Each structure stands twice: as structure tokens, then as C-alpha cells.
Structure 1
Amino acid sequence: MVTIIKTSHSIRSILNYNENKVKAGVADCIGVGNYPVDVDKISDAMKLSRFTKRLELNENTKRNSVHISLNFDPSENHTKEKLIAIADTYMEKIGFGKQPYLVYQHYDAGHPHIHVVSINIEKDGKRIDLHHLGMRKSEPARKEIEEIFGLVKAEGRKKKEEFNLKPISMGKVLYGKIESKKALTNVLNQVLNEYKYSSLPELNAVLKQYNVLADRGSENSKVFLANGLVYRILDQQGKPIGVPIKASDFYFKPTLKFLREKFKENEIRRPFEKSRVKNTIDLALLREQVLSVNELAKMLEKEGIHTVFRRNSEGLLYGITYIDYTTKNVFNGSSLGKQYSAKAIEERCGFMIAGEEKRNQMYEKLPSIEFLIDKLEDQKNLLSIPDLVKVLDMLMHAEYSQDYIPNQLKNKRKKKQRRI
């Protein structure tokens, strides 16, 4: 079993995400925890009301909602009763056993999984600490549950991860406002809540993989001047198509104000999240087969990092963004450091190509060892034994030494001035 925990400041958006799945016919609400009625008698209003009334007890807590998914091996086929029992046991072990929660079974993935929705405000108004909840409580709980219910264990198994996003199938999207809005809602629900981005270009780098664009319009447009935002569907060539939809028209309000709050939250990243991308790029550039920025992108793709190049009308590269599908982080190149910006990456790749060509040209001009040996054979009668040894030593001497440092790179010691 694999567990994924997401925290949020909006229980409404989490609840709407799951309820929209139910309305689309790809999910069911199969269980409730600490609600006054059974799952078959509960209404949508009651689901939300139970959460909001509890949240009113502590309005100072920003991150007050949790969205947990419990994922099982594709070979497992559990009954609803067993899934509910697993969810109840899990919530008890992570300290949420007395909290109100809802359990949803989703059918829209290649493996069986359930989603659990809850809040961290207790009935006395105290807050359950969410810091390192996964490491502190979820991991031990997962291992115990695997043993108790005889589940396929997550550890020690080879997993083939699919890093590529599944873009919207444009053939299935009707370009009227209703169908377009439904398609956009599904994408925005996933991307806005799962990925970490700190600017609009970083967000759009992910959205464009789904053929979606968050658009402020031109600087003189009404949308831009009013601090507005619209979402557009893109065709296969990346051009807007259909009717744009205002951000305020979506139920979870992904407006520019909402995004700016997300930008601030996501500005601080864990050191590991940045270093993973930087180290992957550096290692790829150390390999000799990297000959261009496009080849570098292919190598990064194998490590789960998608590279987005931004070019002007003349084809010149002016921007680069990295999407890490493993940690769900998006980084503009310059935010990782100058050496990871578009210009620096192009120069680093270009330096390797130039260096390779220079070496090849140098070796082409040098006579071959076979040629020199033939010449030596002709002259051996004229050379003494010591001279012959010296010449052979020169021929067999290594062309390159790892200890060699060019004069220009050596640190010159400064001469100390004598005191008079």
C-alpha cells in the first residue's frame, strides 16, 4: 500500500474535487467517520456542514484540511467493506480516529485506491499537528496495516513510474462553455493542488502539458488591467481554441489572488527538492553523449524531469523551466542558480561541443603512432640505444593526465610584502 498525504487551507475544494468525481461516475462515497448518520443517508450539505462547523472553533489555523489517498497494488481487488476497514484503521493510527472524515472509492486509475477527506481541528478547538505527519505516523501505520490486512507491501518491489502527464484529448472536448469548463476543472483540480510553483510561467509550464493555459491577457487588455485571469484550452500546436473561462467562474475560484497566495507558500522549497534537479542536470552534463540542449532534455526525461524551453520567434532560447514529476516541483532555471538558466545551460552544452570539436581537430593534425614508428624504423641505425629509449618513452607517454592543471587555472600565490 502506498499513502499520499496532501494538506490544504480549503476543505471545500477537496470535498468538491471528490464530489465532482462522483457526479462524473468515476467515484463513490463509500464510508463516513464520526458523522451522525450513515453514508447512504448523508447529503452533500451535511458533508460540508460537519467540517465547517468544526473549523469555526479555530479560525487561526491556515492548513486545516487533509486529503489522503491509499493506493493498492493492481493485483488486489478489495471489497468496499475491507476498504472502509482499512481507512478506519489508518485514521485511528495516525491520530484522526475521532475526527469527522469521508471515504471515497475512485475508479479512474489503473490501480485500486481510496481517498479520505478530513480536518485537523478537534472538538475542543485544538489543532492536530500536521508537521511530518507522513514520516511520524503514516509510515508506521502503513506497515502495520499491510501486515494486519495481508496487503501487497510497498517496500522491496520494483515500480515502473509513469512520469508523463496525460494531456486533454482535444477530440473529446466540446468547445462550448459547459464542456470546456468541465475539462478545465479536472485539470486545475489536479495541478493547482499537487504541484509546487512560485510564478505564473512555472504554473503554465505544467498546465501546457495538459493543453491548458492560465492567461492574464496583454498589458493593455481589460483582463490584465482589472487584475483578472482566464483559463484557455490549447490545440495540438499550443494555440488557444474555444471560449476562455474566467477564473472566478470556477467553484474553487483559482483567481490571480488565489495563485499569488500559492506562489508565496511555494517560494520556500526543501533543499532536497532543488538539489535533486540540480544534481540530475550536473550528472547528465558530465556524460560525453550530451551534445545539445535537446539531448540533455531527453536524458532528464528518463529521470522524471521534463524540460520546457521558451524560444522567441527567431528560435533563440530565452527561458527554461524544469518540471520534476517525482517531487511535483516546478523550477524556473534561474531560480535554481545562474548555471541552470537558459543561457548558462546553452553555454555549458556548447562548451562541450566546442571542446569535442577542438580535440578532434587537434588529433587529426597529429601524426599517428604507426607513422612515427615507421619513421623510427628507418632511422634506428642512426640512433644510439639511449636516444632510442628516450624516443620510445616520448611515444608511449600518456597524452593526458588527470593531474594536469592549465597555467591559467592555477592559483598564483601572492608575494608577501616585507615590513620595513
Structure 2
Amino acid sequence: MIAKIGKGSNMYGAILYNQQKVETESGAVLLLNKIPDTMNGRYSVAYFNKCFEPYLSANIKTEKTIRHISLNPDPKDKVSDEQFAEMAQEYMERMGYGNQPYIVFKHTDIDRTHIHIVSTCVGIDGKKIPDDYDHPRSMAICRDLETKYNLHKATKQEQKQANKIFKPVNHKNGDIKSQIASVVRHLPNYYSFSTMGSYNALLSLFNIIAEEVKGERNGQPVNGLVYVVLDKKGSKASNPFKASLFGKDAGIAQLQKHFEQSKEKLKTNPARSVLKNTVELAIHTTNSETEFKKQLVEQGINTVVRRNDNGRIYGMTFIDHESRSVWNGSQLDRNLSANVFNDWWNNGNKPELKTQDNPVSKTNTMDNQPTKDFFEFIPQKHSPNFDLGLFSLLPDAQGVDYEEEQFAKRMKKKKKRRRL
């Protein structure tokens, strides 16, 4: 089992991301800790968000107050809801969050059933819960839970090897060919993308661009692909490398097959509606491109904006790392096209989106749910120096669980060898 610990500053966004899955019937609330249940067992984003207010209001100087943790058993493991809840409780207790409010959500929208835990690292006294050596402690707990619940085990060696995959290329570090290879050889195995534009949007997260090369050789048409490394400003920082250097999966022929397969997958992907709602809410609740991107990135979604030389936006791509799918804005909805964002960010005309049949309209309602137990919020003062800080292109909050897939592949290979 693999655990991912995401750290951010947007509690509302973290709750919304999970609650939308519940409302689209691709998720469920399994457990509440230090959070009152409601009389009818129904919840809203506003209600959950209010339950964390005393802790977040008491915050003294912690920048990243939110903990968004996922626990991911091997896809072969069969784990009941009761076992998921028990594992979450033991994990949070041993990580030092046993007395904190937290919500355990189960996700079923992809083949890999797993749980997400939303909590805060700020105590009711406003002090941060120590998180030194979080990752080593988390790994040790996962190993114990694997034994206790008879789950497939992930070794340290496999985790270390998986961690080497999908690192942004740094042209200053040398060995550029190997750095490119560690990305382009594997991306099609994990992500669905249906066009060269969406592929390049995904590659841009790793400082790479793919360019088609067309011409003639011995009178025959040639259609190939080269990869080039980009610097921090998006300018080319290396010579082109032929796709053939990285295997067939990185070549144009195989990618075109992947595009067609992805088009079919994206048609029925349940992540589309959740992503659409999340993007629309970000439009409603932010006032600039920076705020918009930051809100989405804390929910595991990267926004790639393509502009021409005059600054006009001609492409909007959203990369959802939870469902591992890449979407053009117009694929999600015509109201999320590049022209809409260009009119907003370049011309100051913020779009007004209809939400009457949208789960966002339900989750965005500040309702007063009756609780089973008396629940009182203690007013606290915000720190005047509270700073959200900067966010990186590939933050902890969007961590993708490649460890699990790598482990599953190795298990399959071992079984085949035994049969032989």
C-alpha cells in the first residue's frame, strides 16, 4: 500500500474535490472524526468546511494548513469499507492526527479503489502538529497495515525506483537524454491524452516539448517526432532528440494509436463532470489567473495556458492527476474554451456560468445542517501575517501514485515467471 501526503492551504477546495465524487456517485463518506454527524446523514462542502473553521481560525503562523492524504492498496487487494475506515483511523492516530477533525472519503471513479483523508495540521490551540519525518513514519505504518490486513507489500526498493520516474528535466544537470527517456517512455502508460496539443501540455510540466518533423527520404514521405528540453522561461534549451532513441511508445505512430484510444476512454470517463464542476467553481471563486491556477493545483489539477506572440490565449488544457486524464477546455464544456479565458484574463470580462443542474450549486450552498450532537464554534483571531506562500508547478498536493502501478507490474511479472 502506498500513502501520498498532500500539503496545501485551500480547505474548501480539498473538501469540494472529494464531496463532488460523493454527489456523482463515484465516492462515499466512510468515516468522520471529531466532526458531528447530521440527522439525515447528508453533508455539504459548506458544512464540512465550517467544521474546520475553529482550527484554521486559530492558526498562528502555519502556511500549509491542509493535509490531503490518500491511501492506495494494490489494485489486486480487496478491502471492505470497514477495513478502509479502520486503516484510516490507525494511520491518522499513529501520524499524530488522532485528535484532529478529519473526513475519510472512498473513491471508486477509477479502477484503483482507494481512500482520501482531509484534515488540518493545526490544533485548536493554533499550533502546528509536528510533521518531522512524516514520510518515513508513513511508510512504516503502511508496511504494518499491509501485514495486518494481508495486503500486497511494496518494498522500499520499489518505492525508490518509482520515485525516479517523472521528474522535470533540468537541462543544467546533464544526461538530458536519460532525463527525457524517464518521462516519455512511461507517460502513455499512465495518462489519457487525445491530441498532440494535449500531449505537449502534459510534457510541458516536465520541461519538454514534442515537435513533428515532416519531409521526404528517397522519394518517400517521412513523418517523425523529436523531443526538445525547455528552460524555465519555456525557451528551447537543448538540441532535438529523435523519438526513436526512446522506444516505440515515444514515436508518432504509437502516439497516434494512443490518441485514438484516449478519445474513446475520455468519452465515458466519469472524471469529466467532476473536473468541469471544479473548474467552474474556480472561476466563480477566484479573481485572477494566478488565483485560478493555484486553487486547481491544490486539488491535483494543472492548468496549461497557450498564448501567441501577442499574448492572446488560444489554448486551455486541464491535467487531472487523480484520473490521469488531459482535457482541452472546450472538451469539458464550450463555456470553458480558450476564448472565454482570454476574454476574462486579457479583457477583464469574467464569465458568468450557469449552475442550475450542476453539483457545484449544491456543494456551494451554505446550509445549516442539524447535528446529532451539540456543536459550538469558538471564535479565534486570524494571524495578521498569514501568508499563503508560492506554489510550485508540481506540488506535493498533486502527487501521483506511480509506486502502486510499478509494484503491480512487478507482481504480474513474478506470477508469470512462477508459471513458467
TM-score calculated relative to the size of structure 1: 0.47
Between 1 and 2, higher relative CO (CA 8 Å, sep ≥ 6) is seen in 2
Could you say which structure has the larger radius of gyration?
Answer: 1
TM-score calculated relative to the size of structure 2: 0.47
